[in-house]
Amino acid sequence: MTNLTKHTAPTSMIPSVIQDYSRKVRKALFKPKLTILSISLLNGRFKALSIINDTIHLSWERPGLVVSTETLRQAIQDAIHHTQYQGTYVAILVEDTRFITKNLQLPPMSPSDLIPILERKAQQEKNWEGQAAWCHRIGLKTRENGKVNIHLEIWPQEFVDQIVQICQELGLHLCQLGPISSLSESQLSMLPVEPGMATLLLTILEGKITFVCGKEDGTPLLTRHLFPTQDWVPLGERVGTEVNRTIMYITQQTNLSIPHIWFLGEEDHLTIGEIQPHVPTEIFPGPVNPDWKYWLWVGATLPIDHPNNFTPTHVLREPLRIFLTKAVAAIIVGFLILGVGTTSALQGFLAQNNDIVQAVSAKATILQQNQEQWQSRLVALQTQRQWAQAITAPVLPPLEGPFFSYLSTVIPPQIILHRAVMERTSEGWNLELSGRSATNLSTTLLALDQLVKHLGEGPYHVALQPDWRAKLLTQTTTSSGTKATSSLIPFTMKGTLS
């Protein structure tokens, strides 16, 4: 039961404009050709029509009545056989005495509030054991009290489940399971209605009289049924009375007027001539002369989102689910084939180039050895060269010999040199000269000054410490004070060569 509620509730929530637009887009884009087995089960009378690629193929009427589930299963099987139907889709329209049709007037409310009320109402109205399945359609909003008319169809849930199970067992996709009144309502859209007007369609189908009032766009406003139970009143008069009541109700509740009444039915039950005397509004015959094949065609073309479609949502989605499953499977298989192919191609490529890869590996090994060898050689070469260069690198020249040779040429004859020392340092050479002079002080100083000048100018540019003179004078004063007879004047000079 809840499945149907779920099915019908969203449908009523979606604006009809969007639904129409979606339907038009689907038709424009896909234009599927209709292949379906349309079945009607009207109070046990079983009829079937196979439609293949938008063309009526074969029809079949089962003799006798279908009264049980097993008989229905066999009837559908026979219908498939006799109509040579090879498709999978099936639409079933049912009229049964157990079914209940109610017109309710309820205050406007949200679907979340409305659904529980309708559910409770359906369970209250059912006259059979078990759950009730129901569908509803919101119709005309009354002007007097602001309530809305709700058309409620109540079926046994068990019957719906049995139909679904039979279709599953027979491999059929059930896409339509609705009441016969859905056919009448669907005919509103084919009637010519002037703008701003409404119309009333009177149908007689298998003896069931239905009044359907709709707007110019085919939207049903009110649906009523009339059962021929009062035999003492002529049927034409009774129908005319109900027509008048319906027109008055519509006129009262809306501003719409109904200028025409259309009659679509079986002439053997009732004719326009029998009704017209009791109705002031003119009654026209329908644009088509329907027979039961026509109604089966109409039933096959009902949209699956019809408000009175009792087919559970999961059953409706089954074809799409199967299609998606197949599509996904095809994609996966394609991917598998692609993957296997790619892997095989790569494997073949690798096998083909295996020799090259091995040769490259061997070459890489040899190259690594060569690299290490050449690196080792280069490092050894550089190390040995650095070592040799470090030994053969030029150092400070041996200056001592040449300097002492030069010293012998510049030393004055008055000067007696006792000690000459050259000591190498990191910056150059330290020089120390010491000796005595055999002349007087002034001559000694002159000679030493001459020596200092030569040493400072010469090729060696000796920088002598200037304190040699002070030391010499100090020593001379001390010596003359202590030992006046001494005639040798000592001196010491220190300097550097750089």
Partner 1 sequence: MKGLLTIGKPNLQSLKEMALSLLFILALCTVGWLSFEQILTVQASQSQIQATNSLEQQVVQLRSNYLQAEPDRLKTELNEADILLFQNFTHLTQWGHDLQEQAKRLDLQTKFRILKTEETGSSIEGVILVPVEIQVLPQGTNSAYQSFLKFVKTMTQSGPRVDIQDMTILGNGKKATVLKIGLSVWMKATNSVEL
Among 19, 53, 189, 325, binds partner 1 (CB under 8 A): 325
Binds partner 1 (CB under 8 A): choice among 53, 251, 289, 384: 384
Applying CB under 8 A, the span of 159-167, 176-184, 271-279, 396-404 interacting with partner 1 comes to 396-404
- Between CA 372 and CA 362 the distance in angstroms is 16
The 435-454 site mask, x for binding partner 1 (CB under 8 A), equals: xx------------------
Among 14, 320, 330, 336, binds partner 1 (CB under 8 A): 336
# residues contacting partner 1 (CB under 8 A): 56
Site for partner 1 in 341-370 (CB under 8 A): 342-343, 346-347, 349-350, 353, 357, 360-361, 363-364, 367-368, 370
Contact flag: residue 123 with partner 1 (CB under 8 A): no
Of 123, 257, 383, 465, the residue at the interface with partner 1 (CB under 8 A) is: 383
| Residue 221, φ and ψ in degrees, nearest 5 | -100, -40
Question: Of 27 and 363, which CB lies nearer to partner 1 in the complex structure?
Answer: 363
Question: Is residue 401 a contact residue for partner 1 (CB under 8 A)?
Answer: yes
Q: Is residue 320 a contact point for partner 1 (CB under 8 A)?
A: no
* Distance of closest approach, residue 88 Cβ to partner 1, in angstroms: 17
Q: How far is the CB of 406 from partner 1 (least distance, A)?
A: 10
Q: Do residues 436 and 491 lie in contact, with contact meaning Cβ atoms separated by under 8 Å?
A: yes
330 binds partner 1 (CB under 8 A): no
Least Å distance, CB 226 to partner 1, is 40
Among 68, 332, 487, 498, binds partner 1 (CB under 8 A): 332
Which residues in 410-429 contact partner 1 (CB under 8 A)? Answer: 416-424
Q: How far is the CB of 162 from partner 1 (least distance, A)?
A: 19
* Smallest separation, CB 245 to partner 1 (Å): 44
Q: How far is the CB of 133 from partner 1 (least distance, A)?
A: 16
Specify the residue, 33 or 377, whose C-beta has the smaller distance to partner 1.
377
Residues 6 or more apart whose CB falls under 8 angstroms from that of 307 comprise 8, 11, 12, 135, 136, 137, 151
**If binding is defined by CB under 8 A, does position 400 make contact with partner 1?**
yes
Query: Which residues in this chain contact partner 1 in the complex, by CB under 8 A?
Result: 325, 329, 332, 335-336, 339-340, 342-343, 346-347, 349-350, 353, 357, 360-361, 363-364, 367-368, 370-371, 374-375, 377-378, 381-385, 387-392, 395, 398, 400-401, 404-405, 408, 416-424, 435-436
